[in-house]
Amino acid sequence: MTFSEINNKLTNINSEDLLTSDIFGCCSFLNFDELLKYILKESMHFDSNDQLDTSEPVVSEEYIFWPRIKTGKTHTEPDVLIILQHPENKCSLILIEAKYSSGKSSEANYDTDEITDQLAKELRIIEEQELYTQFGFLEGKQIVSKALIYVTADDTIPRSSLYDSANEFIEKHRTNINYKEPAKLPLYWLPWWKIEHIATNTNIFDFEDKTKNRIIAHIKDVLQAKKLSRFSGFNKMDFDSSKYSYISEIEDYSHLRYGFSVIISQITYNYIEDKGIKEYNFSRMLPKISYNYHMRR
């Protein structure tokens, strides 16, 4: 039984709740340093592009799937609340809002004083006292960091959408004195394809416990089956090595090529875009490589 079933979520094969359950449910079966640390570190701040700081030692973690938390006159339900326990009675709060084939469920509406943007409402969760009242074990804890991570299938960061969320939060949440401008908010973005890339990195994961290896393999298999992976070069070549130094040329986003300075002659390929599917065609060298992608302005 998955976490989505336990929490009475109606799911189908394309459900983002099922995807969230599969991936972050697997994370919950491993210790922080074994997987989640690497995933969180790939989260990018929506304004500065800085990676999320994961340097604080973690002694334990708790996952709460789809908590229902009061925000203003309504309730908000993020996908996952992760509480990282640190030494000396400290903790960090991580909110996950995950999307698959859709965007935010609600956008900013300045015709009302209420915060309406989905991510802006979820920023309220980690900034207001209601969370600490609802989860009494947080009282007395020193909160050393907070983050709202927006996980999407986008190829590149949906910066405009994230700024819309941040601007509404700052504009309507005037009682908050911790942040003077939207760019300082703890709002991050993480694409699914980076999680898949982590799961395929054999330099990180080679546990003696074979069950743990199967958990990592399941994450990789799920994301690849959903076409949420990304072509990142040829596996047998270390493109960061000077031996295989190259440049990537883009002409009108339709003709790309890898040009290697030594060893290998130029490799050209084309790709097409059709209904959210990006397809690479290497003609005789390789079979077609395709994956889902989303790009928002």
| 14 within some domain | yes
* CA–CA dist 102, 245 (Å, integer): 37
Task: With respect to residue 191, please indicate whether it lies within any of the assigned structural domains.
Answer: yes
Residue 160 sits in the same domain as residue 246 = no
Tally of domains in the chain: 2
* Structure token pair of residue 217: 């393999």
Same domain, 19 and 120: yes
Would you say residue 54 lies in a domain?
Answer: yes
> What secondary structure letter does DSSP report for 199?
H
- CA 24/CA 39 separation, integer angstroms: 10
Asked if residue 156 is part of any domain, the answer here is yes
Which of these, 56, 81, 57, 82, lies nearest to 69 by C-alpha position?
81
Q: Is residue 132 part of a domain?
A: yes
Query: Which 8-state DSSP code applies to residue 32?
Result: G
Residues 124 and 241 in one domain: no
pLDDT tens-digit map of 86-122:
999 999 999 999 999 889 999 999 999 999 999 999 9
- Average pLDDT per consecutive 10 residues, the chain (297 residues; last block may be shorter): 56 80 95 95 96 95 94 89 96 96 93 93 89 87 95 95 95 73 92 94 80 93 90 50 44 47 54 66 56 54
| Residue 210 belongs to some domain of the structure | no
Per residue in 9-19, pLDDT tens?
A: 656 667 889 99
193 and 236 in a single domain? The answer is no
Residues 193 and 250 in one domain: no
Half-sphere exposure of 89 (CA within 13 A, CB side): 6
Angle at 151 between CA 145 and CA 152, to 5 degrees: 155
Single pTM value for the model: 0.77
Tell which residue, 216, 180, 159, has the closest CA to residue 44: 159
Tell me, yes or no, whether 279 lies in a domain. yes
Range of the domain at 195: 3-199
pLDDT of residue 246: 42
Q: Do 25 and 164 reside in the same domain of the chain?
A: yes
Under 8 Å between Cβ of 42 and 198: yes
Regarding whether 173 and 36 lie in a shared domain, the answer is yes
Instruction: Clarify whether residues 63 and 161 are in a common domain.
Output: yes
For residues 191 and 245, state if they share a domain. Answer: no
DSSP structure class, residue 241: S
User: Which residues, 6+ apart, have CB-to-CB distance to 274 below 8 Å?
Assistant: none
Q: Is the separation of the CB atoms in 17 and 79 below 8 Å?
A: yes
Pairing of strands 90-98, 142-152: parallel
Domain assignment present for residue 159? The answer is: yes
Shared domain for 9 and 132, answered yes or no, is yes
Joined together, the tokens standing for residue 193 give: 């394809």
Question: Can you tell me the distance from the alpha carbon of 119 to that of 133, in angstroms, rounded to the nearest whole number?
Answer: 21
